[in-house]
Amino acid sequence: MVAIIVHGGAGTIKNEEKIPKAIKGVREAVLAGWKELKRGSALDAVEEAVKALEDNPIFNAGTGSVLTLDGRIEMDAAIMRGKTLEAGAVASIWGIKNPISVARKVMEKTDHVLLVGEGALKFARIMGFDEYDPITEERREQWKKLREKLLKEGTIPYWKKISELIKEHPEVLRSTVGAVAFDGEEVVAGTSTGGVFLKMFGRVGDTPIIGAGTYANELAGASCTGLGEVAIKLSLAKTAVDFVRLGLSAQKASEAAIEMATKYFGKDTMGIIMVDREGNVGFAKNTKHMSVAYLKDGMNEPFAGI
């Protein structure tokens, strides 16, 4: 039994005209991953699915990533193999098209797990990744409006003010893409994000932190989306996989993980997708929206919804 599931980020899509585009985007991504999965590789499937999401400007990863407080892009990504526990990640990287592919190179070509900032960018160039500007005009206009609103009192904003902004403009929270796949031999999980709009320069969320936003072992894999600080504090991806170790299915483990996030940090904070070694998929959220698509043996067409 092989299976793959993808997500396009948890949060609120304020402009409902974008909902069909988000559903179409995750459907295309899961089909891109499925093509590789049928060739036998969960690793290739996850990379290709996440690349499809990174290349779609409607999502907050790769092209279309949101901007930091000072108007830059700082992207994060991670990928992990459940069979060997190999993992690679990059954080606060810019100037490239597909952070998930750089993360895979970190896993395969170095003895490290996480490279950040200038070091991650230098490594990407050594690995042959070309210069690329992921900023879209839509994101730049959103940044200008939100930054002006945040700074109107003339004070330096911190998370308390950004939290207030998120309440007023919930679409700010929508972030992160990810995929989890099982090829009959191993589970692989991958996640990529542009972060949260107007984040402090240098802020790193849960995505590249193994166990927080991304995790896979011999039992299951998970990719988280939402407010990164919540997933970090709960080690949410690893916690969800541990629930599978305790006997829960991927779906029940996903629900239990989100119940935990809601208990400690409230609603509108998190979403998660999972696949276990039986080929079961699972997903849950405590936000209004989370675009999801999955496909597994026995299905003629992918499920795609929000």
Residues marked active site are found at 176
Tokens standing for residue 228: 């990164």
Give the end-to-end CA distance of the chain in Å, rounded to a whole number. 25
- 130 labelled binding-site residue: no
Residue 251, burial from CB neighbour count under 10 angstroms (0-12, 13-18, 19+): middle
Instruction: Check the annotation: does 225 bind a ligand.
Output: yes
Quick one: CA dihedral 45, 51, 57, 59, positive or negative? positive
E strands, 60-134, are 75-81, 87-93, 114-116
Could you give the CA distance from residue 151 to residue 161 in angstroms, rounded to a whole number? Answer: 10
Question: Binding residue per annotation — 227?
Answer: yes
| CB crowding 32-46: b at 16 or more within 10 Å, else e | bbbebbeeebbbbbb
CA 179 to CA 41: how far, in whole Å? 13
204 is in an annotated binding site: yes
Q: Residue 226 annotated as binding? A: yes
3-state secondary structure at position 1:
coil
- Residue 205 marked ligand-binding: yes
d(CA 278, CA 123): 36
Cα-based distances in Å from 9 to 41, 61, 150: 24, 10, 23
- What residues are designated binding site? 203-206, 225-228
- What residues are designated binding site for substrate? 203-206, 225-228
